[in-house]
């Protein structure tokens, strides 16, 4: 176990053992939604009341220039957990693991292919702390690592305690999670959407057996924070440091609250009558004007207060005579900036937009790469951190990985390939700039979000920010956020200086371009079929002329001509569960990337064992996208926007090539098993069946069942093939 670096810090108890770490990673909480931020920014009292988060800030530090790695949740959470930029994790947005296609026919660019999950080979905060003796827990929202709440989940990434997906989410400690207890075993807690609408079922009972009840403080009972506290209570006996990754669903939509008392309170505070209809409640469009959202922020603050009070009042078994809070770093942040507006779902004005929160003076919000979408609150208290302090050094959630290592006394290793900086010296007031492990001061923070909602890459350096757009004009926006003395200049990003400051623009653009090239960042495609007007050079896009397969080898043919651009890149996007016989619930179909080769007029690949469908994605020399068969736009076509990938393909090299590849894999497994004198009778039977099926006309049921049987037979042996990633992509009953 490592020795804590805090022994030399001005902590209240220098001899304390390794500190506990509690990170409250909220969902969609805006930069100034915490009252202590709003007061500093606006010089007046806010509508939202957050006394518990304010208490953390009063006892610790408030970072005024903290950033999320991306303006949406999945890429930010993956980047935070890996300590890497999104360009290196590969997780770019929330819709990964499926065929990429134009957002609408009018969009000039198409999102790059990207996964829905962080590779299991990537070290995470949890795995490194666990290896150093920490007990680790992840509570509630994950949102990366497989589709929805699928496999791999938090436990696969190094957490001791968290939920598992097994026909419903449940946590992996039966002493803390009894599925028969409908009150305590409620994954979503008080955030759970109301039925049939947001005025539908406020709890009003104190019946201990009821699913939703009011506690003594007239707050609705919350199973999520209760579970977190019960886990910390239980593990105290082990006398080990703990890391809690508490990720409530607050304040993500649907914008509603189970707390009628707080909804009434904020309606009165805003001068709005208590709503009788779940729809439109006000004509206001700016400011803190949504009483539902205000009550959600209030409930989030209450959750945090419950955790904080537990730490403040519980004896530390590793440090007798002291409370847990004395040796715990507790921090609050958000996965992206605040959401500005959302659609009304029920009642008056259904389908129209209603305001959520106000990020003023920042521009934009969630889903944009303006400051309102990227800047987040970040407060922390802990041993050695001066109370009521603030810091204006730019930081990013990717800094948490090396910072937690420093807190725990874990030595840095190059093998981790971390992009973040250890900012513990900033927290302790021992440095004014963030430094990398090699001692070099960081002078820039980068963002890569090549996604249809706001496709762009960004560099934030000194007081300047450059946004390079992929699908809009002007292509470059340059803003001076801060003056040279650190005072605010243009936080609202109103004055684009790209034309008036060409030297600064080109300097930052060169730095950004160099970084993108260094990390081989996935870039968007150009849309060859943009309507109504085609993009320049789209006439040079070669046409796809054919598809073919032989055994486990597949190919796509395309034009080669003097007036056509060359194809310079090929990838095979494939799925191994593109069938109801192979996935456990609708929407769980997931797609992955395999290598493909490009030759004159042909792109080819050997398919992964068990592939059910595949699509070649080709990029020509002008950046345009070709696919082995047409894929429709997400919106504006007859194909529904959220259907599975197999629903948009006509051919997809369905079933047969993947079964051929799986048979070859099984034959290799059989040879290894026989060499090790293992029983191969089940494998031989499955192979015989599969060899018969693969000679028959392609049909979904016999082919997929043969795949499933053969894969399970391989998995039952102690052979290298059983450990192949492609045969272990899911951990579900149908796998």
User: To the nearest whole number, what is the mean pLDDT of the chain?
Assistant: 93
- Angstrom distance (rounded) from CA 411 to CA 389: 28
pLDDT in tens, 549-578: 999 999 999 999 999 999 999 999 999 999
Which residues, 6+ apart, have CB-to-CB distance to 250 below 8 Å? 26, 27, 29, 191, 296, 297, 299, 300, 303
pLDDT of residue 584: 79
The structure's pTM equals 0.94
Tell me the average pLDDT across 323-349.
97
pLDDT of residue 585: 75
E strand or H helix at 376, and its extent? strand 375-381
In the predicted structure, residue 313 carries a pLDDT above the cut 80: yes
Which residues, 6+ apart, have CB-to-CB distance to 131 below 8 Å? none
- Angstrom distance (rounded) from CA 35 to CA 489: 23
pLDDT in tens, 203-230: 866 656 565 677 778 899 999 999 999 9
pLDDT of residue 7: 34
Range list of β-strands (E), 118-222: 135-140, 163-165, 169-171
pLDDT of residue 143: 86
Helix (H, G, I), strand (E, B) or coil at 599: strand
Per DSSP, the residues of 455-486 read -EEEEEETTEEEEEESSSSSSEEEEE-B-TTS
Tell me the average pLDDT across 313-320.
96
User: Tokens representing 479?
Assistant: 């803003």
pLDDT in tens, 52-101: 999 999 999 999 999 999 999 999 999 999 999 999 999 999 989 999 99
Cβ–Cβ under 8 Å, residues 608 and 658? yes
pLDDT in tens, 413-429: 989 999 999 999 999 99
pLDDT in tens, 522-555: 999 999 999 998 999 999 999 999 999 999 999 9
pLDDT of residue 150: 66
pLDDT of residue 329: 98
pLDDT in tens, 99-140: 999 999 999 999 999 999 999 999 999 999 999 999 999 999
> Could you give the angle at which helices 656-675 and 700-715 cross, rounded to 10 degrees?
20
Helix (H, G, I), strand (E, B) or coil at 180: coil
Cβ–Cβ under 8 Å, residues 395 and 66? yes
- Angstrom distance (rounded) from CA 179 to CA 648: 38
Q: pLDDT-based confidence at 473, cuts 50/70/90?
A: confident
DSSP state letter for 105: T
Print the SS3 string covering 329-356: EEEEEECCCCCCEEECCCCCCCCCEEEC
Percent composition of the chain: helix, strand, coil (DSSP 3-state, to 5): 30, 20, 55
pLDDT of residue 110: 96
pLDDT of residue 167: 52
The residues facing 72 across adjacent strands are: none
Q: pLDDT-based confidence at 14, cuts 50/70/90?
A: low
Residue predicted with more confidence, 169 or 464: 464
Q: Which of 73, 25, 28, 76 is CA-nearest to residue 356?
A: 28
pLDDT of residue 10: 37
Tell me the average pLDDT across 168-194.
90
In the predicted structure, residue 188 carries a pLDDT above the cut 50: yes
Cβ–Cβ under 8 Å, residues 18 and 4? yes
Per DSSP, the residues of 556-622 read EEE---TTSPPEEEEEEEEES--STTT-SSTT---EEEEE-EEETTEEEEEPPTT--EEEEEEEETT
Tell me the average pLDDT across 365-370.
97
Residue 277 phi/psi, 5-degree rounding, is -130, 140
Cβ–Cβ under 8 Å, residues 168 and 143? no
pLDDT of residue 588: 80
Residue predicted with more confidence, 8 or 652: 652
- Angstrom distance (rounded) from CA 653 to CA 467: 40
The residues facing 477 across adjacent strands are: 467
Taking CA atoms, 646 is separated from 132, 413, 450, 650, in Å, by 44, 42, 24, 8
In the predicted structure, residue 148 carries a pLDDT above the cut 90: no
Q: Which of 188, 205, 307 is CA-nearest to residue 250?
A: 188
- Angstrom distance (rounded) from CA 590 to CA 575: 6
pLDDT of residue 212: 63
In the predicted structure, residue 486 carries a pLDDT above the cut 80: yes
In the predicted structure, residue 643 carries a pLDDT above the cut 50: yes
Helix (H, G, I), strand (E, B) or coil at 573: strand
Compute the residue count for the chain.
735
Cβ–Cβ under 8 Å, residues 409 and 5? yes
């Amino acid at each position: 176990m490592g020795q804590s670096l805090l022994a030399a810090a001005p902590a209240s108890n220098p001899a304390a053992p390794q500190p506990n770490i509690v990170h409250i990673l909220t969902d969609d909480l805006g930069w100034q939604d915490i009252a202590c931020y709003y007061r500093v920014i606006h010089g007046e009292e806010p509508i939202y009341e957050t006394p518990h988060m304010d208490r953390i800030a009063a006892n610790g530090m408030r970072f005024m220039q903290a950033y999320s790695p991306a303006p949406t949740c999945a890429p930010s959470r993956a980047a935070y957990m890996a300590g890497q930029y999104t360009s290196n994790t590969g997780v770019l947005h929330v819709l990964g693991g499926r065929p990429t296609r134009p957002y609408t026919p009018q969009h000039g660019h198409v999102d790059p292919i990207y996964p829905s999950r962080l590779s299991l080979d990537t070290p995470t905060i949890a795995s490194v702390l666990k290896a150093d003796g920490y007990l680790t827990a992840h509570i509630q929202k994950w949102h990366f690592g497989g589709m929805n709440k699928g496999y791999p989940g938090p436990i696969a990434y190094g957490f001791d305690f968290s939920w598992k997906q097994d026909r419903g989410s449940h946590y992996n400690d039966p002493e803390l999670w009894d599925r028969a207890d409908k009150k305590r075993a409620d994954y979503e807690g008080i955030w759970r959407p109301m039925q049939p609408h947001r005025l539908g079922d406020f709890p009003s009972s104190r019946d201990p057996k009821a699913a939703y009840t009011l506690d003594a403080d007239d707050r609705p009972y919350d199973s999520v924070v209760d579970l977190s506290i019960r886990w910390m209570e239980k593990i105290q006996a082990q006398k080990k440091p703990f890391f809690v990754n508490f990720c409530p669903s607050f304040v993500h939509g649907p914008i509603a609250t189970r707390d009628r008392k707080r909804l009434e309170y904020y309606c009165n505070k805003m001068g709005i009558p208590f709503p009788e209809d779940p729809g439109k409640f006000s004509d206001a469009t700016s400011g803190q004007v949504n009483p539902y959202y205000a009550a959600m922020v209030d409930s989030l603050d209450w959750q945090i207060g419950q955790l904080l009070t537990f730490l403040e009042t519980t004896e530390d078994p590793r440090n007798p005579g002291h409370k847990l809070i004395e040796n715990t770093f507790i921090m609050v942040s958000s996965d992206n900036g605040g959401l500005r507006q959302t659609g009304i779902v029920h009642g008056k004005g259904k389908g129209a937009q209603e305001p959520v929160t106000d990020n003023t003076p920042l521009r934009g919000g969630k889903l944009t790469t303006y400051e309102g979408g990227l800047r987040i609150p970040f407060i922390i208290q802990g041993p050695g951190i001066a109370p009521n302090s603030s810091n204006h050094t730019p930081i990013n959630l990717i800094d948490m990985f090396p910072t937690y290592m420093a807190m725990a006394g874990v030595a840095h290793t190059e093998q981790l390939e971390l992009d973040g900086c250890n900012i513990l010296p900033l927290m302790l007031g021992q440095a004014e700039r963030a430094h990398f492990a090699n001692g070099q001061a960081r002078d820039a923070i980068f963002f890569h979000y090549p996604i249809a909602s706001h496709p762009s890459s960004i560099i934030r350096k000194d007081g300047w920010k450059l946004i390079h757009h992929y699908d809009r004009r002007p292509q470059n926006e340059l803003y001076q956020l801060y003056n040279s003395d650190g005072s605010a200049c243009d936080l609202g990003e109103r004055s684009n200086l790209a034309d008036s400051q060409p030297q600064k623009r080109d300097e930052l653009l060169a730095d950004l371009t160099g970084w993108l090239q260094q990390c081989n960042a996935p870039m968007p495609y150009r849309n060859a079929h943009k309507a109504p007007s085609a993009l320049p050079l789209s006439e040079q896009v070669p046409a796809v002329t054919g598809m073919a397969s032989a055994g486990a080898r597949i190919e796509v043919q395309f034009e080669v001509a003097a007036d056509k651009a060359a194809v310079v890149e090929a990838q095979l996007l494939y799925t191994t569960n593109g069938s109801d016989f192979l996935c456990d619930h609708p929407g769980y179909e997931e797609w992955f990337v395999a290598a493909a080769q490009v030759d004159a007029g042909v792109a080819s690949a050997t398919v992964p064992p068990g592939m059910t469908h595949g699509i070649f994605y080709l990029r020509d020399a002008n950046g345009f996208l070709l696919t082995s068969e047409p894929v429709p736009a997400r919106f504006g076509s007859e194909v529904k926007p959220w259907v599975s990938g197999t629903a948009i393909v006509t051919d997809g090299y369905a079933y047969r090539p993947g079964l051929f590849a799986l048979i070859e894999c099984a034959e290799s497994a059989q040879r290894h098993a026989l060499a090790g004198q293992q029983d191969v009778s089940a494998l031989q039977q499955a192979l015989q069946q599969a060899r018969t099926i693969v000679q028959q006309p392609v049909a979904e049921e016999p082919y997929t069942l043969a795949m499933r049987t053969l894969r399970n037979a391989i998995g039952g042996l102690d052979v290298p093939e059983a450990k192949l990633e492609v045969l272990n992509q899911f951990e579900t009953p149908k796998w």
